[in-house]
């Protein structure tokens, strides 16, 4: 997974002297699921439009599958499937007919198009509704049809703008697992924009936190926690009876430990820059103390995201 399929360098888009995207640099690897996370107005859609060649950058460079979308938008369009947040289908046509229509726009021969449409409708769980008019589809069904629609041209990359908007929790779960499955089975790179933390956390390999046109941080959950909490990226929760002062001093003296917080007579939390849970367990045991529980506490994307926004203007969020 170390072949960049989306390469963005110092990319900016300025509207009326205000940067919508501000010197963005980002590499997305082939086969990765990358989540672009940020509040409304952060610049996610503008970034996506520049990747698709729908908006011209003010400055900087962008390459998708090795192609510059500003110069060659049609070549990018052949390789990239884009599912906008407000996707529309011809309401009076069935799901199957809509897919065949998209296939014809992409110059896929009829016989091949029929084969792909049937297979995709099956993959997205719409085989039973393929001959139903899309005007009668639920929002979740339309999103699943949308996925089939972007996949009909066998893209290398799919870009999904708020794909779960307006879908009920069960529909969200199904759609996310479908995206995950497609990514794993077909090695399709997925760029997904969202402001739903939990959904992003569930399926993305890496996340970029985007605010006011700037990428504040990027990485997997551990990287993000590391960047944000620096020398306190890990918390080891210990329950032991009793918590002995000598033992606490011993732990405080470890080079990885920044502080120890004693919550009550038998519980403490140890903040450290590495996961040293086994070392801490051994130290506690060496004091002949009854260790009843030891676990690593993980920061969730919720904590990470909100901490990034602490003290920032987030009134659009």
Ligand X SMILES: Nc1ncnc2c1ncn2[C@@H]1O[C@H](COP(=O)(O)OP(=O)(O)OP(=O)(O)O)[C@@H](O)[C@H]1O
Among 12, 24, 37, 43, binds ligand X (CB under 6 A): 43
158 touches ligand X by CB under 6 A = no
- SS (HEC) of 130-196: CCCEHHHCCHHHHHHHHHHHHHCCCCCEEEEECCCCCCCHHHHHHHHHHHHHHHHHHCCEEEEEECC
Q: Distance between CA atoms of 131 and 259, rounded to whole angstroms?
A: 63
46 touches ligand X by CB under 6 A = yes
Residue 7, classed as helix, strand or coil, is: strand
Give the interface segment with ligand X, choosing from 34-42, 64-72, 271-279, 284-292 (CB under 6 A): 34-42
Q: Is residue 242 reached through a cis peptide bond, with omega within 30 degrees of 0 on the bond before it? A: yes
Among 6, 42, 52, 284, binds ligand X (CB under 6 A): 42
Among 27, 30, 41, 291, binds ligand X (CB under 6 A): 41
Please state the closest distance from residue 202 (CB atom) to ligand X, in A.
Answer: 19
Please state the closest distance from residue 275 (CB atom) to ligand X, in A.
Answer: 34
12 touches ligand X by CB under 6 A = no
The answer to whether 34 and 51 have CB atoms below 8 angstroms apart is no
Question: Is the Cβ of residue 42 or residue 158 nearer to ligand X in the bound state?
Answer: 42
Residue 28, classed as helix, strand or coil, is: strand
Q: Which residue has the tokens 């870009």?
A: 159
Among 44, 77, 142, 144, binds ligand X (CB under 6 A): 44
Question: Is the Cβ of residue 86 or residue 310 nearer to ligand X in the bound state?
Answer: 86
90 touches ligand X by CB under 6 A = no
* Of the candidates 106, 115, 117, the residue with the CA atom closest to the CA atom of residue 80: 106
Among 40, 245, 311, 315, binds ligand X (CB under 6 A): 40
Binding residues (CB under 6 A) for ligand X: these are: 15, 20, 38, 40-46
């Amino acid at each position: 997974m170390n072949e960049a399929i989306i390469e963005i360098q110092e990319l900016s888009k300025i509207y009326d002297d205000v940067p919508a995207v501000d010197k963005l640099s980002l590499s997305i690897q082939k086969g990765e699921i990358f989540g672009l996370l940020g509040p409304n107005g952060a610049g996610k859609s503008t970034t996506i439009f520049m990747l698709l060649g729908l908006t011209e950058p003010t400055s900087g460079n962008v390459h998708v599958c090795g192609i510059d979308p500003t110069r060659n938008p049609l070549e990018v369009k052949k390789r990239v499937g884009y599912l906008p947040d407000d996707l529309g289908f011809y309401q009076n046509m069935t799901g199957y007919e809509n897919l065949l229509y998209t296939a014809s726009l992409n110059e896929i021969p009829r016989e091949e198009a029929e084969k792909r449409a049937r297979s995709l409708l099956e993959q997205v769980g719409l085989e039973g509704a393929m001959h139903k008019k899309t005007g009668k589809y639920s929002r979740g069904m339309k999103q699943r049809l949308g996925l089939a629609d972007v996949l009909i041209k066998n893209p290398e990359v799919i870009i999904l703008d708020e794909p779960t908007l307006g879908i009920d929790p069960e529909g969200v779960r199904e759609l996310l697992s479908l995206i995950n499955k497609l990514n794993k089975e077909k090695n399709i790179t997925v760029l997904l924009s969202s402001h739903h933390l939990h959904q992003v956390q569930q399926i993305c390999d890496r996340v970029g936190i985007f605010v006011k046109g700037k990428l504040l941080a990027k990485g997997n959950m551990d990287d993000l926690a590391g960047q944000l909490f620096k020398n306190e990226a890990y918390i080891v929760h210990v329950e032991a009876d009793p918590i002995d002062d000598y033992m606490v001093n011993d732990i405080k003296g470890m080079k990885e430990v920044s502080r120890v917080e004693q919550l009550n007579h038998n519980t403490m939390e140890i903040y450290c820059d590495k996961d040293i849970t086994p070392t801490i367990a051994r130290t506690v045991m060496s004091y002949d103390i009854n260790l009843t529980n030891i676990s690593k506490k993980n920061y969730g994307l919720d904590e990470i995201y909100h901490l990034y926004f602490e003290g920032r203007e987030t009134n659009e969020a």
